[in-house]
Amino acid sequence: MLIAANWKMFKGPREAAAFLDEFAPPEGVDVVVCPPYASLQAAVGRGLPIYAQNVHWEAEGAFTGEVSAPMLLELGVEGSIVGHSERRQYFGENDETVARRTAAALEAGLHVIACVGELEEERERGETEAVLRRQVSVLEAHERLVVAYEPVWAIGTGKTATPELAQEAHALIKSLLAVPVLYGGSVKPENAVELLAQPDVDGALVGGASLEPVSLEAICRAAASLS
Ligand code: PGA
């Protein structure tokens, strides 16, 4: 079971270090933390694997505002999220750039958490399966690749997919690509057990509830109790 903490644009270097010094994950669960770029260096070396939240496909070049896999590896960063819905919604990320980022990061030696998930209107129109098939089709199975299913309508909204709905999407994704699949979207200590107990849910990508050590620890304990 893997629990990944996505801190988004929260926690500068001081707060990131303080969190990691206080955080005590239970045995029996893998935990990774994804701080913003500016806090990666402060987070590395404090006991947990550290992932970035995005990574470019080129090793270097004229790409203002981007960071490459070799740069992350040099810092001691072990992986990256790719294709988060906030990147897709606000920063023009698309299936093609997700594919390029993912392939380059894996090639360079990073782990990747590639995010997929449908918008609320896509679900209402009955397009969930088609959207997931399209988003997953650009990825290739790899031993360091994990997919995160994050229905966009459930991210940061307090609306969680029902365990049955999550299970259905996870089973579809796994039928397309043989990799572990994390669930993401308003995962909290109160709903973690029922989501993580689904047979094709292999862990969680946690945003809001990962910002406090106590709530992230509670989610990690829920995962450990099911392992
Ligand atoms: P949330 O975010 O847990 O705050 O809904 C999850 C994510 O966006 O990865």
Domain boundaries 2-226, corresponding CATH code: 3.20.20.70
| CA distances in angstroms from 189 to 113, 209, 220, listed in the order given | 22, 8, 9
Going by the DSSP 8-state scheme, the letter that residue 2 receives in this structure is E
What pLDDT sits at residue 27?
96
Ligand 1 atom, smallest distance to 154 CA: 5
The pair of structure tokens assigned to 5 is 């903490």
The yes-or-no answer on residue 58 being catalytic is no
Say yes or no: CB of residue 208 within 6 Å of ligand 1.
Answer: yes
Distance 209 CA to ligand 1 centre (A): 8
Q: How many Å apart are CA 128 and CA 121, to the nearest integer?
A: 9
Chain centroid to CA 73: 18
The yes-or-no answer on residue 84 being catalytic is yes
Residues 6 or more apart whose CB falls under 8 angstroms from that of 124 comprise none
Strands 111-116 and 145-149 turn out to be parallel
Say yes or no: CB of residue 185 within 6 Å of ligand 1.
Answer: yes
Contact 82, 125 (CB under 8 A): no
Q: How many Å apart are CA 22 and CA 214, to the nearest integer?
A: 9
Q: Where are the alpha helices (DSSP H) in the chain?
A: 13-22, 40-43, 69-75, 85-90, 95-108, 120-124, 128-137, 163-176, 192-196, 213-226
What pLDDT sits at residue 161?
85
Distance 195 CA to ligand 1 centre (A): 14
Say yes or no: CB of residue 68 within 6 Å of ligand 1.
Answer: no
pLDDT in tens, the chain (227 residues): 999 999 999 999 999 999 999 999 999 999 999 999 999 999 999 999 999 999 999 999 999 999 999 999 999 999 999 999 999 999 999 999 999 999 999 999 999 999 999 999 999 999 999 999 999 999 999 999 999 999 999 988 888 889 999 999 999 999 999 999 999 999 999 999 999 999 999 999 999 999 999 999 999 999 999 98
Domain ranges in the chain?
Answer: 2-226
Phi, psi at residue 37, to the nearest 5°? -45, -45
Say yes or no: CB of residue 204 within 6 Å of ligand 1.
Answer: no
pTM given for the model: 0.97
Say yes or no: CB of residue 219 within 6 Å of ligand 1.
Answer: no
The pair of structure tokens assigned to 154 is 């459930």
Distance 219 CA to ligand 1 centre (A): 13
